[in-house]
Amino acid sequence: MGRPTDNPKVITLKVYFDKETAAKLDECIEELKVSKSEIVRRGIHKVHDDLKKK
């Protein structure tokens, strides 16, 4: 199933967005040409990195 990877994605997350947030997500997907999951992962890493700066 899929390509072999050193970092398998085995956890599923269901989220609810308002229309404005969903539109921003769609804009990010279109601009960056990556999946919704990748945008969410990048966002989590960015917020986490910001926590370390405090």
Q: What is the pLDDT along the chain (54 residues), one digit of tens a residue?
A: 677 889 888 999 999 999 999 999 999 999 999 999 999 999 999 999 999 887
Alpha-carbon span 42 to 35, nearest angstrom? 11
Domain presence at residue 12: no
Whether pTM > 0.95 for this model: the answer is: no
Domain presence at residue 41: yes
Number of compact structural domains in the chain: 1
Nearest alpha-carbon partner for 41 in 9, 17, 19, 18: 9
Domain presence at residue 3: no
Q: Whole domain around residue 48: which residue ranges?
A: 19-53
Domain presence at residue 27: yes
Domain presence at residue 7: no
